[in-house]
């Protein structure tokens, strides 16, 4: 019984550590931080995405009582950028800047670490946000798209972490403890739970499930191969970009 309580307490801390890592939501648990716990928390990325999606969907439904869908979506997108600290969008901008302006793996990694944003990153960021708002507005059920896409997209980086080596300066990386000895068994648990939640939320809608698989595995395959060719492995910024790409691909399916 004591061991079970310890496991539950550790998983509870891992969930809130994942929440604190991916967002600015206050952690409702005392965290006994360790590299092992950081490694274990990645399995909860999709669940954190579901929690964020519930916030987005609820906010949209509340705002829609007073404003048009386009206005509500812009406000929800602004809330998303605030509550997440534009975490994944920053990864997208840094990745595009690096791949667009670097001519060697070393130069690309150096550009990724630069806090300044360049032309490539700016254009990619504006295009991604504009496309996201447009696709959400064209989704059949906007609140469902807002609820589902953050969860599904946050499974994509787990696939990349399970298949590629981590490449960056370990002394300057927040993701290094999470990447070390990534547990592929927990990756399987995360995948099964994401699939089950997707099926429950969509009432076994086969088309949405198929697009969810395309958005996660397809982006992980294409973006993962590209990142591997460019850098030899992945970085934290590349993982953040994969979340943005995963959301956009899923929303393309929902809008169609």
DSSP 17-31: HHHHHHS-PPP-S--
> Is residue 204 over pLDDT 90?
no
pLDDT at 201 (0 to 100): 87
pLDDT at 28 (0 to 100): 79
User: In whole angstroms, what is the distance from residue 128 CA to residue 133 CA?
Assistant: 9
CA atoms within 13 A on the CB side of 121: 24
Is residue 256 classed as helix, strand or coil in its secondary structure? coil
Report the candidate in 25, 67, 74, 96 with the shortest Cα–Cα distance to residue 240: 96
E strands, the chain, in order: none
Q: What band does 11 get if pLDDT is binned at 50, 70 and 90?
A: confident
pLDDT at 103 (0 to 100): 87
| Segment 8-33 mean pLDDT | 88
**For residue range 50-99, what is the model confidence (pLDDT) as tens digits?**
999 999 999 999 999 999 999 999 999 999 999 999 999 999 999 999 99
| Structure-token pair, residue 215 | 């958005």
pLDDT at 175 (0 to 100): 57
Q: Of all residues in the chain, what percent carry a pLDDT higher than 90?
A: 64
User: How many residues belong to the chain?
Assistant: 256
Q: What band does 177 get if pLDDT is binned at 50, 70 and 90?
A: low
| Segment 156-177 mean pLDDT | 77
Contacts for 189-195: CB closer than 8 Å, 24+ residues apart: 189/43, 190/42, 190/43, 190/44, 190/45, 190/46, 190/155, 190/158, 191/155, 191/158, 193/46, 193/47, 194/46, 194/151, 194/152, 194/155
Q: What band does 183 get if pLDDT is binned at 50, 70 and 90?
A: low
pLDDT at 124 (0 to 100): 97
- For tokens 């990694």, what's the residue? 109
In terms of average pLDDT, the best of 7-21, 108-122, 124-138 is 124-138
Burial class of residue 81, CB neighbours in 10 A (0-12, 13-18, 19+): middle
Spatial CB neighbours of 247, under 8 Å, sequence gap ≥ 6: 132, 149, 150, 152, 153, 215
> Is residue 180 over pLDDT 70?
no
In terms of pLDDT, which residue wins out, 133 or 190? 133
| Segment 161-178 mean pLDDT | 71
Instruction: Say if residues 129 and 40 touch (Cβ distance below 8 Å).
Output: no
Q: What band does 231 get if pLDDT is binned at 50, 70 and 90?
A: very high
pLDDT at 27 (0 to 100): 84
Q: What count of other Cβ atoms lies within 10 Å of the Cβ of residue 126?
A: 11
- For tokens 């509550």, what's the residue? 83
Quote the radius of gyration of the chain (alpha carbons, Å).
Answer: 18
pLDDT at 87 (0 to 100): 95
User: In whole angstroms, what is the distance from residue 44 CA to residue 29 CA?
Assistant: 15
C-alpha dist (Å) from residue 225 to 100, 165, 238:
16, 12, 11
Q: What band does 1 get if pLDDT is binned at 50, 70 and 90?
A: low
């Amino acid at each position: 019984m004591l061991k079970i309580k310890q496991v539950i307490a550790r998983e509870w801390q891992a969930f809130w550590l994942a929440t604190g890592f991916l967002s600015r939501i206050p952690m409702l648990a005392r965290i006994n931080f360790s590299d092992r716990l950081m490694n274990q928390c990645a399995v909860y990325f999709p669940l954190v995405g579901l929690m964020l999606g519930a916030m987005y969907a609820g906010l949209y439904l509340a705002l829609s009582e007073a404003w048009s869908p386009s206005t509500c979506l812009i406000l929800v997108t602004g809330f998303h950028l605030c509550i997440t600290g534009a975490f994944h969008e920053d990864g997208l901008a840094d990745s595009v800047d690096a791949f667009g302006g670097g001519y060697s793996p070393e130069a690309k990694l150096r550009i990724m670490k630069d806090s300044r944003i360049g032309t490539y990153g700016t254009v990619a960021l504006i295009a991604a946000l504009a496309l996201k708002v447009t696709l959400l507005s064209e989704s059949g059920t906007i609140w469902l798209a807002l609820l589902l896409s953050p969860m599904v997209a946050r499974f994509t980086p787990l696939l990349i972490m399970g298949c590629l080596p981590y490449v960056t300066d370990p002394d300057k990386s927040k993701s290094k403890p999470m990447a070390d000895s990534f547990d592929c068994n927990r990756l399987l648990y995360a995948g099964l739970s994401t699939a089950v939640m997707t099926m429950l939320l969509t009432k076994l809608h086969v088309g949405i499930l198929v697009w969810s698989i395309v958005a996660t595995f397809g982006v992980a395959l294409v973006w993962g191969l590209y990142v591997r060719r460019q850098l030899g492995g992945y970085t934290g910024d590349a993982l953040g970009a994969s979340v943005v790409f995963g959301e956009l691909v899923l929303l393309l399916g929902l809008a169609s």
